[in-house]
Amino acid sequence: MENARVGLQNHMDIRSFALDGPLEIYPVRRHDTRGYFAEIFREDLFCAAAGPVHFVQENESRSDLAGTVRGLHFQADPMAQGKLVRCSQGVIFDVAVDLRPRSPSFGQWVTTELSAAKGNQLWVPAGFAHGFCTLVPDCITTYKVTQYYSPEHDKGLAWDDPDLAIGWPTVANPATLAAKDRAQPRLANLPRALFTKG
């Protein structure tokens, strides 16, 4: 899905998708003979594009094998999380699914490839499920979140729900799923009351 540029600064290039909410962010890298320098997050520029956001926790996962699938995950209200996702090593196929009950794009999704080489990031707003598949071995994924982890509100969605029909890469390996992700419900079986906003 094509994304459109919504802001280009000397610091970062911020692009929107046809689906309202998610953003793709490319930090501007300044190169010299030593390598490069980049500002990977600026609150002022980010909030100008995404709206008021405050991050409270940062997480990191390592996936040893290509084809590792993680997700689709989200937290329900009142602990719904926005996530700013970055692949700091390797390449991942990243997915955000709109679960906002009053959204005209409910059940629709966006995807992009995040890589250490590009340094790009995906903003996944609260009210979206998130997941990814590693495209190469030894991937490290980091993400800032807007709410603390809450086991009580931790929810999921079947990554391969045929009603979603996400175009996962052929390398995606169901054998890599965590036990909880093998038993996640389909979209049709999710209560709409999980999110009271949006």
Which positions are annotated as active-site residues? 73, 143
In this predicted model, what pLDDT tens digit does every residue of 28-69 receive, in sequence order?
888 889 988 888 888 988 999 999 999 999 999 999 999 999
* pLDDT reported for residue 105: 94
Q: Which helix (H) or strand (E) holds 93?
A: strand 91-98
* pLDDT reported for residue 1: 44
Residues with Cβ < 8 Å from 165, sequence gap 6 or more?
Answer: none
Arithmetic mean of pLDDT, 158-177: 97
For residue 198, what pLDDT band results from cuts at 50, 70 and 90? low
For residue 106, what pLDDT band results from cuts at 50, 70 and 90? very high
Q: How far apart are CA 71 and CA 87, in angstroms?
A: 15
What domains are there in the chain, each with its CATH number? 57-194 (2.60.120.10)
* pLDDT reported for residue 4: 55
